[in-house]
Amino acid sequence: MHSGLSSYIWISEGTEITTEAQPKYQLPSRTWIIIEKLGEVASFINQQDIDHGLKPGTTAAKFLCHLKDHPEKQAFIRIHRQIPIEGTDFAPPGIRASQAFPQRENRELEAFKALKRQKFRFVPPLLGYQEGTQGPNEIVPGGSEVLIVWQKVPGNPLSEDYFWSLKEQERENIRREFRRVYQ
């Protein structure tokens, strides 16, 4: 398996995405409007990897969006989707559909749910999510798909590149704060 930049998720500006109500997490049904795609990273897998028991490849795309009736309420949507085995991207839909793999736990979504249950206030709040399968015209018909929506908050995300650009003492302060919160 290897990772790389690619584009498997094509959603244009202005597209509406609705997340269903999730009563367990007190999340109402909401409709989001895509503003722009911010990036996408895919984890590719080949037939040999599958033969050795690895799970299917996936892609994750991040979008900036806003609440349909409140453009000032911006959020992020990340869409995780199963992608085809390398070399079969342009195979007939039936072949790609035969690669569909049952939904598996999405660690990012599970983390957001756990933090919401614990009413953890130091991360952007979960605003909605959707778990399901891709439609008949998607890249892997019947393959898994997870959408996660969280609030856009002020400031810059703590990306790996940003973290390592900081001075050693600043990195240690961040580590110390994470240890304090997780204990």
Residue 149, H or E segment: strand 144-151
| Amino acid in position 125 | P
pLDDT of residue 4 exceeding 80: no
Measured distance CA(4)–CA(43) in Å, rounded: 7
- Take residue 140 and report the two structure tokens written for it: 């892997």
Mean pLDDT computed over 40-61: 92
Q: pLDDT, tens digit, for every residue of 19-41? A: 999 999 999 999 999 999 999 99
Instruction: List, in sequence order, the alpha helices (H) in 103-146.
Output: 107-117
Instruction: Name the residue with higher pLDDT: 13 or 53.
Output: 13
pLDDT tens profile 142-173: 999 999 999 998 877 778 888 899 999 999 98
CB 35 within 8 A of CB 17: no
> Residue holding tokens 């584009």?
7
Q: Where are the domains of the chain?
A: 2-152, 155-183
